[in-house]
Amino acid sequence: MPWRRPVLLAGIVLCLGCGHIVRNAPNHPGAPFDFESPPCQPAGPPAGPPAKGAAVDVRYLGAAGLYLRWGDDSILLGPFFSNPSLLRVLLGRWRANGPAIERGLGGLPVSDVEAIFAGHSHYDHVGDLPAVLALAPRARVYVNRSGAHALAPYAAARTTALEDGSGQWVWLTGPGGEKRPIRFFAVPSEHAPQIDHYLWAKGPLKEDWREPWTSHRFYDLKAGETFALVVDLMSSDLQSVRYRFYYQDAANRQGIGEPPSFPDGHPYDLAVLCIASYDKAKGQPAAILKTLRPRHVLVAHYDDFMRQQDRPVRFVSLLTDAKVETYLQTICRELGCGSPSGAGPTNPVCGPSSSRWTLPLPGEWMRFPALSVNNSANQPK
């Protein structure tokens, strides 16, 4: 309806960066955690590599972006750093911020990355991929078909549509086609609306783009179909799951985006959950927590992706302090925060963290233990 977009934009303008405080950060007892003025710097890389198969190193990149290192293998999920202003998003054409991308990826061996994932193709998830792909010549891209169409001018031969492998395990492979110890399972999902029932830039792209993205507007990067991902980090002999995590880059309604039960019986060691617009996704986050029963939750996509990197961190548009508090309380109610789970970061982190959840600062490193699971059925299928 013609009035929806003006209402949406007015709401975003009025509510930009509504919140920035977590009232109770157990790792900083006695005071609220203010993201605008954090009491410490983001945690750097953990000292020394972990014993093989003993832990996974994760760096939160901001928005829904992650860098993940498992032994000799590494992947990126939704890397985005350009953070255009609202005015540019509404009126300008796409343009990547090269210095911001360089800073965001600083210190990472991006040339070794084997795969890049995005669950949908809004600009804040795929907008920097043309630039990132130039830095990661080995990486394949796994994104929905709309994202594959958009990336055609840059990486058509290196891009796989998630729709093509949905509902089955897909293994990452090396240069010679050999399996690497990482596999994923794409779960059809959806993207919650931002205001009322309005979803910005919804719908698919149906044809390959032929011209560079600089000729397109941000709105042209349509969401397409949304997917959540289950990612397994495998033993070196590829025979058992050592670490399993669930990744969503858009909140979804109850009953959607929920993975099936897998015969191996391995639990979810981590759930990376999108907090943005969760209040527009009926039943969340309680429903996905009940389904997954994860040992730990990494709360992502909380930070304002329209802020410049040198500006203080604030919550994404329309996400208030009260909404964040409700979200964290729901995690504790569903999973229990009264005692250590043994699945949280083993290194001290600056961002608010409890026994069951962590809100890392952009750029923060976390080392998560690969817990021993004695399960004779824990075999790949």
Whether residue 66 lies inside any domain: the answer is yes
Per-residue confidence (pLDDT) for residue 10, from 0 to 100: 52
Per-residue confidence (pLDDT) for residue 170, from 0 to 100: 97
Per-residue confidence (pLDDT) for residue 341, from 0 to 100: 86
Name the stretches of the chain with pLDDT < 50: 1-3, 6-7, 375-381
Q: How many domains does the chain have?
A: 1
Whether residue 379 lies inside any domain: the answer is no
Q: Sort 8 into a burial class: Cβ within 10 Å, 0-12 / 13-18 / 19+.
A: middle
Whether residue 34 lies inside any domain: the answer is yes
Secondary structure of 240-291 as H, E, C letters: CEEEEEEECCCCCCCCCCCCCCCCCCCCCCEEEEECCCHHHCCCCCHHHHHH
DSSP state of 46: P
Whether residue 376 lies inside any domain: the answer is no
Strand 73-77, strand 65-70: pairing? antiparallel
Per-residue confidence (pLDDT) for residue 163, from 0 to 100: 97
> What is residue 312's three-state secondary structure?
coil
Per-residue confidence (pLDDT) for residue 101, from 0 to 100: 97
Torsion sign, CA atoms 347, 355, 64, 171: positive
Whether residue 378 lies inside any domain: the answer is no
Domain residue limits at 259: 4-369
Task: Supply the CATH number for residue 63's domain.
Answer: 3.60.15.10
Per-residue confidence (pLDDT) for residue 11, from 0 to 100: 54
Per-residue confidence (pLDDT) for residue 3, from 0 to 100: 45
Whether residue 9 lies inside any domain: the answer is yes
Per-residue confidence (pLDDT) for residue 91, from 0 to 100: 87
pTM, 2 dp: 0.94
